[in-house]
Each structure stands twice: as structure tokens, then as C-alpha cells.
Amino acid sequence: MKDSPYTTVNLKERNREELQGLLVQLKRELFDLRIMQATSQLKNNNKLNSTRQNVARVMTEINARRASGRKQ
């Protein structure tokens, strides 16, 4: 996962708009995965977990910036 765009280092390098875009993309993917799981089309259940963790990573970075007052 070192090359993942969701590592802490990669998230800190992005600006606020990019983080918001990533969050929207991940939430859409999470929605799609939940629909696939409900209809028994999801083959890899780990994908649901990893997407949920990535949403949390992005939200943590957004909230950390908001708390510190950093507007990047």
C-alpha cells in the first residue's frame, strides 16, 4: 500500500479541493459496493473494508486541517 494515494504522506500533499474530490469519489464507491453486497454481486468483501478505511483516512486529514486552521 506504499504507492496508494490514501497514505498519510500523499494525503498531506493534496489541497482541500483534491481531498474533497477524493472523499466524494470514495463515498460513491462505498455506495456502489454496498449495493453490490446487497445483491450478492460483491466477490471481494475486503474491498468494502478498505474503502471504508480510506474514507476515514481522508476525513481525518480534512478534520485535522480544519482543527489547525490550515486552509490548503
pLDDT tens track for 10-68: 898 999 999 999 999 999 999 999 999 999 999 999 999 999 999 999 999 999 999 98
CATH of range 8-68; options 1.10.10, 1.10.3470, 1.10.287, 1.25.40: 1.10.287
CA distance 37 to 67: 35
Per-domain boundaries in the chain: 8-68
pTM, whole model, 2 decimals? Answer: 0.84
